[in-house]
Structure 1
Amino acid sequence: TYLYTEKINRNFGIGIRYGDSAHWFPIEYDQWYTLEFDFLWSDDEDGQLKFAVDESDPILFKGKNMHNKYQHYLKIGMYRHPKIQSSNNIKFRALFIN
């Protein structure tokens, strides 16, 4: 599962990919958004993710989201190829992990 930003037809947005499924949301630059992730971790097909942007109706993704029964984890940050030279920022405000 991963979240990414991209431009599609001059519209900036964020996409989320979960297995073979994906969804894209248009967003504006320099605006705060509330992203909500609700995971049911599983190494079987009963795993799921509910994802919402700014209290929109959640998108439900289903299927395996762990490779094995070893502890699972969530990584948050900017990950990209070291040859990308542009300066980018991700700002977090009021991050809650339960």
Structure 2
Amino acid sequence: MELEPIYRCVAALDVHQAKLTVCVLYEDEAGQTQMELREFGGFKRDRKAMAEWVASFRPQQVVMESTGIYWQSPYAAREARDLRSCRECPSRQAGSRSQDR
């Protein structure tokens, strides 16, 4: 079964207390799927660099997974670069209240 892509470029952020891991999947001019993976620190300058880097790909969708309150600063950095097209994916950790939903 062949899967048909919905988006030609997407970015995914995994947010931790001291770092951000970002993966961008995109289709190149030859129609091949490419992946770029990069880590950023947790400081304001790092979040700004992350948002600039993600924006350079012009993603159609940005998703973010985070635990606790760590999502707030990266979310603000994304909004500053007009990367508002996003979905938040709550973390599913053992013993967390989100598992009961």
Asked if these proteins are the same fold (TM beyond 0.5), I'd say no
Q: For this structure pair, what is the TM-score category when the shorter chain's length is used for normalisation?
A: 0.3 to 0.5
**Higher fraction of helix:** 2
TM-score by length of 1: 0.36
Determine which structure has greater relative contact order: mean sequence separation of CA pairs < 8 Å that are 6+ residues apart, divided by chain length.
Answer: 2
TM-score by length of 2: 0.35
